[in-house]
Amino acid sequence: MKKSILTLLKVIFSVGILVYIFTRVVYLGDLWATLKEANVAYLIAAVALYFLVQTISAYRWYLLLKPLGIETGFGKILSLYYIGMYFNFFLPSAIGGDLFKVYYLHKETGRLSASTASVFVDRDIGMGGLLLVATVVTLFVVPVVYSLLRKDFPTRQLLDEKFAAEARGEVFTTEAR
């Protein structure tokens, strides 16, 4: 009886959050207009890719649990991961889902410290991946964009002339222009 009341409260809470979002935050007319114009193939590919990446992230968390001695099946970890993602979407903080993952994993295993450590280490690995992507983008994309933006500026033209003159073995000067 107690479990069914708790489940009912969870469902009411979840439905309440969704009702609030779709009546106060998201305007259904705008959402529908945008979805009607969207390319369905791109939308399906984006959703599929999103779920693939989340499943890989859940597997990473599953692998992190092994050295901690937490032997829980991947299906259970995947469900906990998606519960955490749900709460990350709908709670006003970025760590709400992490708290729920810790809570449910602790409830499953009885190991609060290991559950907490696994979630935080998983978060840290994710942040490291983001930093790696940002570094690669900065190193390779920013110089290209910068050079494209700077083509029409006189400084760029002077540098091009300087390098061309040096390549021909000449001394570059701006005095006799």
Cβ contact 82:54 at 8 Å: yes
Encode the chain (177 residues) as per-residue pLDDT tens digits.
Answer: 777 887 788 788 888 888 888 888 888 888 888 888 889 999 999 999 999 999 999 999 999 999 998 888 999 999 999 988 888 877 766 677 888 899 989 988 889 999 999 999 999 999 999 999 999 888 887 777 666 666 655 556 666 777 777 777 777 666 554
Residue 175 maps to a domain: no
Buried b (16+ CB within 10 A) or exposed e, 90-120: eeeeebbbbbbbbbbbeeebebeebbbebbe
165 within some domain? no
Shared domain check, 70 and 26: no
| Domain boundaries, position 68 | 40-141
Q: Which residue has the tokens 């009912």?
A: 8
**Same-domain pairing of 52 and 101:** yes
**Confidence (pTM):** 0.63
Q: Is residue 11 part of a domain?
A: yes
Same domain, yes or no: 46 and 80: yes
81 and 44 co-located in one domain: yes
Total number of domains constituting the chain: 2
Q: Are residues 20 and 100 both part of a single domain? A: no
Residues 58, 6 share a domain: no
Residue 130 lies in a domain: yes
Query: Are 77 and 17 in a shared domain?
Result: no
